[in-house]
Structure 1
Amino acid sequence: MQATFTAFIGQHRLASGAAGDVALAVKRAGSQPDQPIIIFDDGTGRSIDFDLRGEDHEVLARLTKLMPPPPSTEVTESPSEPRGRGRPKLGVVAREVTLLPRHWEWLNAQAGGASVALRKLVDEARRASGDKDRERKARDAAYHFMSTMAGNLPQFEEASRALFADDQRRFTGLIADWPTDIRDHIVKLAYSDRA
């Protein structure tokens, strides 16, 4: 999934989308002394700076270096790298894990051995906590954005408490009078993944 970004000029949303699209929109908007422009990474809710110097193609080239495309699922092995433990062509990487003897005994008794058992346990835990992890990440992103853009708005502290208590109804009620673009973006960050 491609990372998305949103730029605000003052309290109004200027652009949202891929890094290149947002960077060029910000560049075209120029600087306005009374209206600061802030770019946010939608995945984290944190502000980010883009280097907007030069021609459009130079800006885009720099962004490509900073934000390469998502990694390919195809694994390639460099011939110059020494071959280590694991199965590099499959993406398996050997690392050290420290466990108590009783844990090693249990793992070694499992079908396929310790490595297979650990991979199954990790996959099961990821599936079980996937929704909670996504909700936590979305809540944190909303809070980071909210702190920057709405930290001085009425009801900020109460809205923060409602956000972390996962009280969506109370939260949206508390921020109802905030500037529309800010309010809508906070709600999008916090709750768009929930159906």
Structure 2
Amino acid sequence: MTEMSVPPFSAFAGPKLLASGPLAEVAIAIKIATGAIADPIVIFDNATGKSLDIDLRGSHREVVARLPQPSTPEPATEASTEPRGRGRPKLGVVAREVTLLPRHWEWLGTQPGGASVALRKLVEEARRVHGDRDRLRAARDAAYHFMSTMAGDRPGFEEASRALFADDRRRFAGLIAPWPEDIRDHIIKLAFSDRAESTSA
């Protein structure tokens, strides 16, 4: 099986996947399906596995206009409130308060470039070293949040949760195998989309 990719949002009507993709597309698909589907519809942010609510009143344009917008950093706005010389807004550098022990400040003060440069280097190094682990943890957490909502009352949920957090992929796949296909497949995508090998391979 080829490598899986996870769309940003998905909607489920009961145990069946209704739509996946950008939030606007998913919202329109739900609005079109409303009235024709008896099962409750739940929308999930696939980055977190958590459900979200949207307002489906009005026209398609009005529905899309009310959708939550993705949060983005606002370095220019925040930096502009700082006295000149604080941060480097053109590079996206923003001033923030950092609380450290005196020995930490002393060490940072001895580093080439000063405390700010040293802290940025430490953060980038941590991101480089732990990036894969952080992504895997986020994927596992998203899968758990989704399965708690959609399969929390299904047989084997507790054991499957333990297998997920133990990264026992084979046991996990076996425990969720009896669950509805769309739910099972979505959990696998959320949990293992960064892995080249498919659980069903």
TM interval, shorter chain, is 0.7 to 0.9
Percent identity over the alignment?
66
TM-score calculated relative to the size of structure 2: 0.85
Residues 88-103 of structure 1: matches in 2 within 5 Å? 88-103=89-104
- Gap regions ≥5 residues in structure 1: none
Aligned residue for 1:17? 21
- Write out the 4+ residue segments of structure 1 that deviate beyond 3 Å after TM superposition: 31-34, 70-73, 75-84
Q: Distance in 2 between matches of 1:112 and 1:134?
A: 30
Higher relative contact order (CA 8 A, sep 6+): 2
CA deviation after TM superposition for structure 1 residue 110, in Å: 1.4
Is contact 1:77-1:89 (8 Å) kept? no
User: Aligned AA for 2:158?
Assistant: E
Residues 96-115 of structure 1: matches in 2 within 5 Å? 96-115=97-116
Is contact 1:31-1:37 (8 Å) kept? no
Residues 26-37 of structure 1: matches in 2 within 5 Å? 26-31=30-35, 34-37=38-41
Kindly report the root-mean-square deviation, in angstroms, between the aligned alpha carbons of the 2 structures: 2.4
1:92/1:177 CA distance change after superposition, 3 Å: same
Aligned residue for 1:128? 129
Aligned residue for 2:58? 54
Is contact 1:6-1:16 (8 Å) kept? yes
CA deviation after TM superposition for structure 1 residue 194, in Å: 1.9
Q: Distance in 1 between matches of 2:55 and 2:80?
A: 34
CA deviation after TM superposition for structure 1 residue 10, in Å: 1.0
Is contact 2:79-2:94 (8 Å) kept? no
Aligned residue for 2:199? none
SS of the residue corresponding to residue 155 of structure 2 reads coil
Q: Distance in 1 between matches of 2:111 and 2:16?
A: 57
Is contact 2:14-2:41 (8 Å) kept? yes
Aligned residue for 2:184? 183
Q: Distance in 1 between matches of 2:110 and 2:167?
A: 42
SS of the residue corresponding to residue 66 of structure 2 reads helix
User: Aligned AA for 1:83?
Assistant: P
